Structure 1
Amino acid sequence: MNREYHRWYSPSLNRHMDLLIFGHAGARALVFPTSMGKFYEWEDRGMINALREPIEKGWLQLYCVDSVDTESWYCWWAHPGGRAYRHHQYFEYLHNEVLPLMNQKNSNPYLITAGMSFGAFHAMSFGLKYPHRVDRILAIAGLYDIRRFTGGYSDDYVYFNNPMQFIAGENDPGRLAALQHQRSSSRWATPIRSSSTRAICPGCSGAKASVMGCGNGTVGVTTGRTGTAWFPCICLAMLKR
Protein backbone atom coordinates (compact mmCIF):
# COMPACT_ATOMS: atom_id res chain seq x y z
CA MET A 1 0.00 0.00 0.00
CA ASN A 2 1.25 3.46 -0.87
CA ARG A 3 1.71 5.56 2.30
CA GLU A 4 3.00 9.12 2.24
CA TYR A 5 3.70 11.55 5.06
CA HIS A 6 3.56 15.28 4.24
CA ARG A 7 4.35 18.28 6.41
CA TRP A 8 4.59 21.94 5.46
CA TYR A 9 4.25 25.39 6.93
CA SER A 10 0.70 26.54 6.28
CA PRO A 11 0.34 30.23 5.40
CA SER A 12 -3.37 29.95 6.18
CA LEU A 13 -2.72 28.83 9.77
CA ASN A 14 0.78 30.23 10.37
CA ARG A 15 1.97 26.87 11.69
CA HIS A 16 3.20 23.51 10.44
CA MET A 17 0.55 20.96 9.51
CA ASP A 18 0.84 17.20 8.95
CA LEU A 19 -1.14 14.75 6.89
CA LEU A 20 -0.98 11.14 5.72
CA ILE A 21 -1.95 9.80 2.29
CA PHE A 22 -2.98 6.19 1.79
CA GLY A 23 -3.41 4.76 -1.69
CA HIS A 24 -2.37 5.69 -5.20
CA ALA A 25 -5.63 6.17 -7.14
CA GLY A 26 -9.42 6.07 -6.98
CA ALA A 27 -12.00 8.31 -5.36
CA ARG A 28 -10.31 10.83 -3.08
CA ALA A 29 -11.42 11.03 0.55
CA LEU A 30 -10.65 13.94 2.85
CA VAL A 31 -10.63 12.25 6.27
CA PHE A 32 -11.05 14.13 9.56
CA PRO A 33 -10.09 12.78 13.00
CA THR A 34 -12.45 12.80 15.97
CA SER A 35 -12.57 15.60 18.56
CA MET A 36 -9.09 17.12 19.00
CA GLY A 37 -7.67 14.10 17.16
CA LYS A 38 -4.53 13.73 15.10
CA PHE A 39 -3.83 12.95 11.46
CA TYR A 40 -2.67 9.40 12.31
CA GLU A 41 -5.88 8.48 14.16
CA TRP A 42 -7.46 6.41 11.40
CA GLU A 43 -4.24 4.46 10.94
CA ASP A 44 -3.80 3.87 14.68
CA ARG A 45 -7.39 2.74 15.13
CA GLY A 46 -7.40 0.23 12.31
CA MET A 47 -9.47 1.99 9.68
CA ILE A 48 -6.68 1.93 7.09
CA ASN A 49 -6.27 -1.80 7.54
CA ALA A 50 -10.05 -2.22 7.30
CA LEU A 51 -9.99 -0.39 3.97
CA ARG A 52 -6.83 -2.11 2.71
CA GLU A 53 -8.45 -3.92 -0.22
CA PRO A 54 -10.12 -0.91 -1.90
CA ILE A 55 -7.05 1.23 -1.21
CA GLU A 56 -4.59 -1.29 -2.69
CA LYS A 57 -6.85 -1.92 -5.71
CA GLY A 58 -6.90 1.78 -6.51
CA TRP A 59 -10.56 2.33 -5.73
CA LEU A 60 -9.98 4.74 -2.86
CA GLN A 61 -7.29 7.19 -1.76
CA LEU A 62 -7.40 8.71 1.73
CA TYR A 63 -5.98 12.06 2.81
CA CYS A 64 -5.96 12.03 6.62
CA VAL A 65 -5.60 15.59 7.88
CA ASP A 66 -4.71 16.96 11.30
CA SER A 67 -7.10 19.06 13.37
CA VAL A 68 -6.77 22.43 15.09
CA ASP A 69 -9.77 21.84 17.37
CA THR A 70 -7.80 22.82 20.48
CA GLU A 71 -7.10 26.19 18.83
CA SER A 72 -10.65 26.73 17.56
CA TRP A 73 -13.93 25.34 18.92
CA TYR A 74 -12.35 23.52 21.88
CA CYS A 75 -10.24 26.51 22.93
CA TRP A 76 -12.73 27.36 25.68
CA TRP A 77 -10.75 30.22 27.20
CA ALA A 78 -10.87 32.21 23.92
CA HIS A 79 -13.71 34.43 22.72
CA PRO A 80 -16.18 32.55 20.48
CA GLY A 81 -15.48 34.97 17.64
CA GLY A 82 -11.78 34.15 17.78
CA ARG A 83 -12.46 30.43 17.88
CA ALA A 84 -14.77 30.71 14.85
CA TYR A 85 -12.12 32.71 12.97
CA ARG A 86 -9.48 30.04 13.71
CA HIS A 87 -11.86 27.43 12.31
CA HIS A 88 -12.28 29.61 9.21
CA GLN A 89 -8.48 29.63 8.81
CA TYR A 90 -8.48 25.82 9.09
CA PHE A 91 -10.97 25.54 6.23
CA GLU A 92 -8.85 27.99 4.23
CA TYR A 93 -5.93 25.62 4.76
CA LEU A 94 -8.00 22.66 3.56
CA HIS A 95 -9.45 24.46 0.56
CA ASN A 96 -6.38 26.39 -0.60
CA GLU A 97 -3.60 23.98 0.37
CA VAL A 98 -4.84 20.42 0.86
CA LEU A 99 -7.28 20.26 -2.07
CA PRO A 100 -4.61 21.47 -4.55
CA LEU A 101 -2.29 18.73 -3.26
CA MET A 102 -5.07 16.19 -3.82
CA ASN A 103 -5.60 17.46 -7.36
CA GLN A 104 -1.86 17.24 -8.02
CA LYS A 105 -1.62 13.68 -6.70
CA ASN A 106 -4.81 12.24 -8.16
CA SER A 107 -6.84 13.29 -11.21
CA ASN A 108 -9.95 11.38 -10.10
CA PRO A 109 -12.65 14.09 -9.80
CA TYR A 110 -14.75 12.31 -7.15
CA LEU A 111 -14.23 13.77 -3.68
CA ILE A 112 -15.57 12.42 -0.36
CA THR A 113 -15.41 14.06 3.05
CA ALA A 114 -15.56 11.65 5.98
CA GLY A 115 -15.46 11.77 9.76
CA MET A 116 -16.94 10.59 13.03
CA SER A 117 -17.82 12.58 16.15
CA PHE A 118 -16.41 16.10 15.74
CA GLY A 119 -14.79 14.88 12.55
CA ALA A 120 -18.34 14.42 11.26
CA PHE A 121 -18.98 18.12 11.91
CA HIS A 122 -15.92 19.01 9.84
CA ALA A 123 -16.88 16.59 7.07
CA MET A 124 -20.45 17.90 6.90
CA SER A 125 -19.55 21.57 7.25
CA PHE A 126 -16.75 21.47 4.65
CA GLY A 127 -18.79 19.41 2.22
CA LEU A 128 -21.83 21.68 2.40
CA LYS A 129 -19.69 24.82 2.29
CA TYR A 130 -18.01 23.70 -0.94
CA PRO A 131 -20.70 21.69 -2.76
CA HIS A 132 -19.06 22.26 -6.14
CA ARG A 133 -15.95 20.46 -4.90
CA VAL A 134 -17.40 17.67 -2.73
CA ASP A 135 -19.49 14.83 -4.18
CA ARG A 136 -20.25 12.78 -1.08
CA ILE A 137 -20.34 13.43 2.67
CA LEU A 138 -19.97 10.63 5.22
CA ALA A 139 -20.69 12.04 8.67
CA ILE A 140 -21.34 9.66 11.56
CA ALA A 141 -22.51 10.62 15.07
CA GLY A 142 -21.69 14.28 14.58
CA LEU A 143 -22.79 17.64 15.94
CA TYR A 144 -24.03 19.93 13.18
CA ASP A 145 -25.10 23.03 15.10
CA ILE A 146 -21.96 24.65 16.46
CA ARG A 147 -23.87 27.25 18.49
CA ARG A 148 -23.67 25.06 21.57
CA PHE A 149 -19.93 25.85 21.51
CA THR A 150 -20.45 29.62 21.34
CA GLY A 151 -22.78 30.25 24.28
CA GLY A 152 -25.25 32.03 22.03
CA TYR A 153 -22.67 34.28 20.37
CA SER A 154 -22.89 34.58 16.59
CA ASP A 155 -21.13 36.52 13.84
CA ASP A 156 -20.39 35.87 10.17
CA TYR A 157 -17.61 33.39 10.98
CA VAL A 158 -19.97 31.41 13.20
CA TYR A 159 -22.90 31.61 10.77
CA PHE A 160 -21.00 30.63 7.61
CA ASN A 161 -19.29 27.70 9.33
CA ASN A 162 -22.44 26.33 10.96
CA PRO A 163 -24.41 23.99 8.64
CA MET A 164 -27.64 24.41 10.59
CA GLN A 165 -27.54 28.13 9.87
CA PHE A 166 -25.98 28.67 6.45
CA ILE A 167 -27.89 25.82 4.78
CA ALA A 168 -31.20 27.11 6.15
CA GLY A 169 -30.41 30.50 4.64
CA GLU A 170 -29.05 29.23 1.30
CA ASN A 171 -30.75 30.76 -1.75
CA ASP A 172 -28.07 30.78 -4.47
CA PRO A 173 -29.39 28.69 -7.42
CA GLY A 174 -25.94 27.43 -8.40
CA ARG A 175 -25.09 26.30 -4.89
CA LEU A 176 -28.52 24.73 -4.40
CA ALA A 177 -28.05 22.73 -7.61
CA ALA A 178 -24.63 21.56 -6.42
CA LEU A 179 -26.07 20.59 -3.03
CA GLN A 180 -28.75 18.53 -4.76
CA HIS A 181 -25.99 16.68 -6.61
CA GLN A 182 -24.27 15.67 -3.38
CA ARG A 183 -24.87 12.41 -1.59
CA SER A 184 -24.81 12.77 2.18
CA SER A 185 -24.86 10.03 4.79
CA SER A 186 -25.36 11.20 8.36
CA ARG A 187 -26.08 8.64 11.06
CA TRP A 188 -26.42 8.57 14.84
CA ALA A 189 -25.28 5.66 16.96
CA THR A 190 -27.48 3.61 19.27
CA PRO A 191 -25.26 2.58 22.19
CA ILE A 192 -25.48 -1.03 23.30
CA ARG A 193 -23.76 -2.83 26.11
CA SER A 194 -20.76 -4.87 25.14
CA SER A 195 -17.65 -6.09 26.89
CA SER A 196 -15.79 -6.40 23.60
CA THR A 197 -13.48 -3.70 22.33
CA ARG A 198 -12.85 -5.46 19.04
CA ALA A 199 -14.97 -6.60 16.15
CA ILE A 200 -14.48 -8.39 12.83
CA CYS A 201 -16.25 -7.50 9.60
CA PRO A 202 -16.27 -10.08 6.76
CA GLY A 203 -17.34 -7.27 4.46
CA CYS A 204 -14.03 -5.53 5.09
CA SER A 205 -11.76 -8.54 4.42
CA GLY A 206 -11.97 -9.74 8.01
CA ALA A 207 -10.15 -6.68 9.29
CA LYS A 208 -9.67 -6.56 13.02
CA ALA A 209 -9.18 -3.32 14.87
CA SER A 210 -9.94 -1.63 18.14
CA VAL A 211 -12.30 1.33 18.48
CA MET A 212 -13.04 1.84 14.77
CA GLY A 213 -12.86 -1.79 13.68
CA CYS A 214 -15.76 -3.22 11.69
CA GLY A 215 -18.27 -5.96 12.43
CA ASN A 216 -20.89 -7.21 9.98
CA GLY A 217 -21.51 -3.83 8.44
CA THR A 218 -21.18 -1.86 11.67
CA VAL A 219 -18.42 0.02 13.43
CA GLY A 220 -17.80 -0.49 17.14
CA VAL A 221 -16.67 2.53 19.13
CA THR A 222 -15.83 1.85 22.74
CA THR A 223 -16.62 4.53 25.30
CA GLY A 224 -16.11 4.64 29.04
CA ARG A 225 -19.77 5.39 29.76
CA THR A 226 -21.84 3.26 27.41
CA GLY A 227 -19.70 0.30 26.43
CA THR A 228 -19.62 -0.14 22.67
CA ALA A 229 -21.71 2.02 20.36
CA TRP A 230 -22.39 0.60 16.91
CA PHE A 231 -22.48 2.66 13.73
CA PRO A 232 -23.17 1.82 10.09
CA CYS A 233 -19.93 0.61 8.57
CA ILE A 234 -18.07 3.62 7.15
CA CYS A 235 -15.83 1.25 5.20
CA LEU A 236 -18.77 -0.05 3.18
CA ALA A 237 -20.35 3.39 2.89
CA MET A 238 -17.19 4.77 1.29
CA LEU A 239 -17.44 2.23 -1.52
CA LYS A 240 -21.14 2.78 -2.31
CA ARG A 241 -21.09 5.59 -4.85
Structure 2
Amino acid sequence: MTRWYSPRVEQYVQLVRWGHFGTPVLLFPTAGGDAEEIERFHLIGALSPLIEAGRIKVYSTDSLAGAAWFAGEHSAAYCSRLQNCFDAFIYAEVAPAIRNDCASHDIEIITAGASIGAFNAVATLCRHPDAFRLAIAMSGTFDLSKYLEGSFNNDFYFSSPLHYLPDLEGPQLEMLRQRLVLLPSGEGDYEDIGQSWRLAQVLGAKGIPNRVDSWGPEWRHDWETWRAMLPQYLDEFA
Protein backbone atom coordinates (compact mmCIF):
# COMPACT_ATOMS: atom_id res chain seq x y z
CA MET A 1 0.00 0.00 0.00
CA THR A 2 1.15 3.52 -0.86
CA ARG A 3 -0.41 6.57 0.81
CA TRP A 4 0.01 10.26 0.02
CA TYR A 5 -1.75 13.62 0.12
CA SER A 6 -3.40 14.55 -3.18
CA PRO A 7 -3.80 18.27 -3.88
CA ARG A 8 -6.33 17.43 -6.59
CA VAL A 9 -8.87 15.85 -4.25
CA GLU A 10 -7.52 17.68 -1.18
CA GLN A 11 -7.24 14.61 1.04
CA TYR A 12 -5.04 11.65 1.77
CA VAL A 13 -5.36 8.82 -0.74
CA GLN A 14 -4.07 5.29 -0.99
CA LEU A 15 -3.15 2.90 -3.77
CA VAL A 16 -3.00 -0.84 -3.10
CA ARG A 17 -1.40 -3.44 -5.35
CA TRP A 18 -1.79 -7.21 -5.68
CA GLY A 19 0.70 -9.13 -7.82
CA HIS A 20 4.16 -8.46 -9.22
CA PHE A 21 3.98 -9.03 -12.98
CA GLY A 22 1.54 -8.78 -15.85
CA THR A 23 -0.95 -6.37 -17.37
CA PRO A 24 -1.90 -3.57 -14.94
CA VAL A 25 -5.58 -3.49 -13.99
CA LEU A 26 -7.02 -0.49 -12.12
CA LEU A 27 -10.05 -1.85 -10.28
CA PHE A 28 -12.44 0.78 -8.92
CA PRO A 29 -14.47 0.01 -5.76
CA THR A 30 -18.24 0.26 -5.48
CA ALA A 31 -19.87 3.45 -4.21
CA GLY A 32 -18.68 3.56 -0.61
CA GLY A 33 -15.73 1.23 -0.94
CA ASP A 34 -12.11 1.79 -0.06
CA ALA A 35 -9.05 0.47 -1.86
CA GLU A 36 -9.15 -2.86 -0.02
CA GLU A 37 -12.87 -3.55 -0.55
CA ILE A 38 -12.13 -5.88 -3.45
CA GLU A 39 -10.03 -8.08 -1.19
CA ARG A 40 -12.59 -8.20 1.63
CA PHE A 41 -15.29 -9.31 -0.82
CA HIS A 42 -13.00 -12.00 -2.27
CA LEU A 43 -12.66 -10.53 -5.74
CA ILE A 44 -8.88 -10.67 -5.40
CA GLY A 45 -9.25 -14.32 -4.43
CA ALA A 46 -11.24 -14.97 -7.59
CA LEU A 47 -8.47 -13.32 -9.60
CA SER A 48 -5.66 -15.15 -7.81
CA PRO A 49 -4.99 -17.68 -10.62
CA LEU A 50 -4.32 -14.80 -13.03
CA ILE A 51 -2.31 -12.87 -10.43
CA GLU A 52 -0.20 -15.87 -9.42
CA ALA A 53 0.44 -16.74 -13.06
CA GLY A 54 1.93 -13.27 -13.58
CA ARG A 55 -0.70 -12.30 -16.12
CA ILE A 56 -2.16 -9.31 -14.22
CA LYS A 57 -1.25 -6.85 -11.49
CA VAL A 58 -4.29 -5.35 -9.75
CA TYR A 59 -4.39 -1.84 -8.30
CA SER A 60 -7.19 -0.12 -6.40
CA THR A 61 -7.83 3.22 -4.72
CA ASP A 62 -10.63 4.62 -2.58
CA SER A 63 -14.02 5.48 -4.10
CA LEU A 64 -13.78 9.15 -3.16
CA ALA A 65 -16.34 10.64 -5.55
CA GLY A 66 -18.63 7.61 -5.48
CA ALA A 67 -18.85 7.78 -1.71
CA ALA A 68 -19.80 11.47 -1.90
CA TRP A 69 -22.57 10.87 -4.46
CA PHE A 70 -24.21 8.09 -2.51
CA ALA A 71 -23.78 9.50 1.01
CA GLY A 72 -26.31 12.25 0.32
CA GLU A 73 -24.48 14.63 2.66
CA HIS A 74 -23.10 17.06 0.07
CA SER A 75 -24.51 19.34 -2.60
CA ALA A 76 -24.68 18.14 -6.18
CA ALA A 77 -22.23 20.89 -7.15
CA TYR A 78 -19.71 19.61 -4.61
CA CYS A 79 -20.08 16.01 -5.79
CA SER A 80 -19.74 17.04 -9.44
CA ARG A 81 -16.57 18.98 -8.68
CA LEU A 82 -15.14 16.07 -6.68
CA GLN A 83 -15.94 13.66 -9.53
CA ASN A 84 -14.03 15.89 -11.94
CA CYS A 85 -11.13 16.25 -9.50
CA PHE A 86 -11.13 12.48 -8.94
CA ASP A 87 -10.63 12.01 -12.67
CA ALA A 88 -7.67 14.40 -12.59
CA PHE A 89 -6.26 12.50 -9.60
CA ILE A 90 -6.53 9.19 -11.46
CA TYR A 91 -4.85 10.50 -14.60
CA ALA A 92 -2.17 12.73 -13.07
CA GLU A 93 -1.31 10.69 -9.96
CA VAL A 94 -2.57 7.10 -10.07
CA ALA A 95 -1.76 6.27 -13.70
CA PRO A 96 1.84 7.56 -13.38
CA ALA A 97 2.25 5.63 -10.12
CA ILE A 98 1.09 2.44 -11.83
CA ARG A 99 3.38 3.01 -14.80
CA ASN A 100 6.31 3.70 -12.50
CA ASP A 101 5.58 0.49 -10.60
CA CYS A 102 5.50 -1.38 -13.91
CA ALA A 103 8.79 0.26 -14.99
CA SER A 104 7.14 1.48 -18.19
CA HIS A 105 6.25 5.08 -18.97
CA ASP A 106 3.71 4.12 -21.63
CA ILE A 107 2.21 0.77 -20.60
CA GLU A 108 -1.54 0.73 -21.25
CA ILE A 109 -3.80 0.07 -18.26
CA ILE A 110 -7.09 -1.83 -18.09
CA THR A 111 -9.86 -0.28 -15.99
CA ALA A 112 -12.58 -2.31 -14.30
CA GLY A 113 -15.30 -1.95 -11.70
CA ALA A 114 -18.85 -2.78 -10.70
CA SER A 115 -21.82 -0.48 -10.09
CA ILE A 116 -20.37 3.03 -9.55
CA GLY A 117 -16.97 1.43 -10.11
CA ALA A 118 -18.16 0.62 -13.63
CA PHE A 119 -18.98 4.30 -14.14
CA ASN A 120 -15.45 5.26 -13.07
CA ALA A 121 -13.91 2.57 -15.27
CA VAL A 122 -15.70 3.86 -18.38
CA ALA A 123 -15.24 7.54 -17.51
CA THR A 124 -11.51 7.05 -17.04
CA LEU A 125 -11.05 5.22 -20.34
CA CYS A 126 -13.15 7.71 -22.29
CA ARG A 127 -11.34 10.78 -21.00
CA HIS A 128 -7.86 9.28 -21.21
CA PRO A 129 -7.55 6.71 -24.00
CA ASP A 130 -3.86 7.60 -24.21
CA ALA A 131 -3.27 5.79 -20.89
CA PHE A 132 -6.07 3.21 -20.74
CA ARG A 133 -7.00 0.62 -23.37
CA LEU A 134 -10.00 -1.36 -22.10
CA ALA A 135 -12.85 -0.86 -19.62
CA ILE A 136 -14.64 -3.82 -18.03
CA ALA A 137 -17.77 -2.18 -16.60
CA MET A 138 -19.86 -4.72 -14.68
CA SER A 139 -23.47 -4.03 -13.66
CA GLY A 140 -22.91 -0.38 -14.37
CA THR A 141 -24.60 2.65 -12.85
CA PHE A 142 -23.89 5.10 -15.65
CA ASP A 143 -26.49 7.85 -15.22
CA LEU A 144 -25.78 9.94 -12.12
CA SER A 145 -28.02 12.84 -13.21
CA LYS A 146 -30.71 11.82 -10.72
CA TYR A 147 -28.41 13.10 -7.98
CA LEU A 148 -28.01 16.56 -9.51
CA GLU A 149 -31.06 18.26 -7.99
CA GLY A 150 -31.20 20.56 -11.00
CA SER A 151 -27.61 21.79 -10.70
CA PHE A 152 -26.15 20.50 -13.99
CA ASN A 153 -22.73 22.08 -14.55
CA ASN A 154 -19.52 21.66 -16.52
CA ASP A 155 -17.91 19.51 -13.82
CA PHE A 156 -20.70 16.98 -14.20
CA TYR A 157 -20.89 17.27 -17.99
CA PHE A 158 -17.21 16.47 -18.53
CA SER A 159 -17.32 13.66 -15.95
CA SER A 160 -20.31 11.82 -17.43
CA PRO A 161 -19.73 9.82 -20.65
CA LEU A 162 -23.47 9.69 -21.31
CA HIS A 163 -23.52 13.47 -21.54
CA TYR A 164 -20.27 14.59 -23.17
CA LEU A 165 -19.58 11.74 -25.60
CA PRO A 166 -22.32 12.79 -28.07
CA ASP A 167 -20.43 16.08 -28.56
CA LEU A 168 -16.92 14.61 -28.66
CA GLU A 169 -14.81 15.04 -31.80
CA GLY A 170 -11.13 15.16 -32.69
CA PRO A 171 -8.05 13.17 -31.66
CA GLN A 172 -9.53 11.91 -28.40
CA LEU A 173 -12.45 10.34 -30.26
CA GLU A 174 -10.15 8.85 -32.89
CA MET A 175 -8.10 7.18 -30.16
CA LEU A 176 -11.25 5.97 -28.39
CA ARG A 177 -12.27 4.22 -31.59
CA GLN A 178 -9.23 1.99 -31.05
CA ARG A 179 -10.32 1.07 -27.51
CA LEU A 180 -13.01 -1.29 -26.17
CA VAL A 181 -15.73 -0.99 -23.53
CA LEU A 182 -17.18 -4.24 -22.17
CA LEU A 183 -20.57 -3.94 -20.48
CA PRO A 184 -21.51 -7.23 -18.77
CA SER A 185 -24.60 -7.23 -16.55
CA GLY A 186 -26.95 -9.66 -14.93
CA GLU A 187 -30.71 -9.23 -15.10
CA GLY A 188 -31.55 -10.49 -11.63
CA ASP A 189 -32.31 -8.59 -8.42
CA TYR A 190 -31.21 -4.93 -8.39
CA GLU A 191 -29.60 -5.12 -11.83
CA ASP A 192 -30.48 -2.59 -14.54
CA ILE A 193 -29.03 -3.74 -17.84
CA GLY A 194 -30.92 -0.89 -19.50
CA GLN A 195 -28.19 1.49 -18.30
CA SER A 196 -25.59 -0.61 -20.12
CA TRP A 197 -27.66 -0.61 -23.31
CA ARG A 198 -28.12 3.16 -23.11
CA LEU A 199 -24.37 3.72 -22.78
CA ALA A 200 -23.75 1.24 -25.60
CA GLN A 201 -25.99 3.29 -27.88
CA VAL A 202 -24.03 6.45 -27.09
CA LEU A 203 -20.70 4.68 -27.64
CA GLY A 204 -21.89 3.02 -30.84
CA ALA A 205 -23.16 6.29 -32.28
CA LYS A 206 -19.62 7.66 -32.00
CA GLY A 207 -18.01 4.53 -33.46
CA ILE A 208 -16.45 3.44 -30.15
CA PRO A 209 -16.20 -0.37 -29.92
CA ASN A 210 -18.34 -1.83 -27.16
CA ARG A 211 -20.15 -5.02 -26.20
CA VAL A 212 -23.09 -5.63 -23.87
CA ASP A 213 -23.17 -9.12 -22.37
CA SER A 214 -26.33 -10.22 -20.58
CA TRP A 215 -25.65 -12.90 -17.99
CA GLY A 216 -29.36 -13.51 -17.51
CA PRO A 217 -31.85 -13.34 -14.64
CA GLU A 218 -29.99 -15.73 -12.35
CA TRP A 219 -27.21 -13.17 -11.80
CA ARG A 220 -27.98 -10.35 -9.35
CA HIS A 221 -26.29 -7.06 -8.47
CA ASP A 222 -23.82 -8.52 -6.00
CA TRP A 223 -20.26 -9.68 -5.49
CA GLU A 224 -21.00 -13.28 -6.45
CA THR A 225 -21.78 -12.04 -9.95
CA TRP A 226 -18.66 -9.91 -10.23
CA ARG A 227 -16.43 -12.69 -8.89
CA ALA A 228 -17.67 -14.80 -11.80
CA MET A 229 -17.48 -12.07 -14.44
CA LEU A 230 -14.13 -10.39 -13.96
CA PRO A 231 -11.81 -13.43 -14.12
CA GLN A 232 -13.51 -14.51 -17.34
CA TYR A 233 -13.02 -11.16 -19.10
CA LEU A 234 -9.48 -10.61 -17.84
CA ASP A 235 -8.53 -14.12 -18.93
CA GLU A 236 -9.83 -13.23 -22.40
CA PHE A 237 -8.49 -9.70 -22.77
CA ALA A 238 -5.54 -9.15 -20.42
Q: TM-score, normalised by structure 1?
A: 0.78
Q: Deviations over 1:85-125 (max 9, x none)?
A: 11111112111111111111112723111000111111111
- Counterpart of 2:3? 7
Tell me which protein shows more helix as a share of its residues.
2
Give the CA deviation at 1:148.
1.4
Q: Which amino acid aligns with 2:183?
A: S
Q: Which amino acid aligns with 1:133?
A: A
- Counterpart of 2:113? 115
Distance 2:47 2:9 in 1: 31
1:1-241 matches, cutoff 5 A: 5-69=1-65, 72-106=68-102, 107=104, 109-172=107-170, 174-191=171-188, 222=222, 233-241=229-237
Distance 2:52 2:157 in 1: 40
Relative to structure 2, which stretch is displaced further, 152-161 or 69-78? 69-78
Relative to structure 2, which stretch is displaced further, 153-162 or 228-237? 228-237
Give the CA deviation at 1:229.
6.0
Distance 2:47 2:230 in 1: 10
Distance 1:20 1:167 in 2: 31
- Counterpart of 1:205? none
In structure 2, relative to structure 1, the CA distance for the partners of 1:96 and 1:72 (3 Å cut) is same
Tell me which protein shows more strand as a share of its residues.
1
Unaligned runs of 5+ in 2: 190-217
Q: Which has the greater radius of gyration? A: 1
In structure 2, relative to structure 1, the CA distance for the partners of 1:49 and 1:133 (3 Å cut) is same
Alignment RMSD (CA, Å): 2.3
Q: Which amino acid aligns with 2:157?
A: Y
Give the CA deviation at 1:133.
1.4
Identical-residue share of aligned pairs (%): 24
Give the CA deviation at 1:179.
0.9
Distance 1:232 1:186 in 2: 14
CA contact (8 A) 1:191 1:229 kept: no
Aligned length in residues: 207
CA contact (8 A) 1:147 1:153 kept: no
Give the CA deviation at 1:63.
0.6
In structure 2, relative to structure 1, the CA distance for the partners of 1:180 and 1:48 (3 Å cut) is same
Unaligned runs of 5+ in 1: 193-217
SS at match of 2:69: coil
Distance 1:20 1:93 in 2: 15
Q: Which amino acid aligns with 1:157?
A: D
In structure 2, relative to structure 1, the CA distance for the partners of 1:70 and 1:132 (3 Å cut) is closer
CA contact (8 A) 1:219 1:230 kept: no
In structure 2, relative to structure 1, the CA distance for the partners of 1:71 and 1:117 (3 Å cut) is closer
CA contact (8 A) 2:30 2:115 kept: yes
In structure 2, relative to structure 1, the CA distance for the partners of 1:221 and 1:80 (3 Å cut) is closer
- Counterpart of 1:196? none
Q: Which amino acid aligns with 1:189?
A: G
Distance 1:110 1:148 in 2: 33
SS at match of 1:181: coil
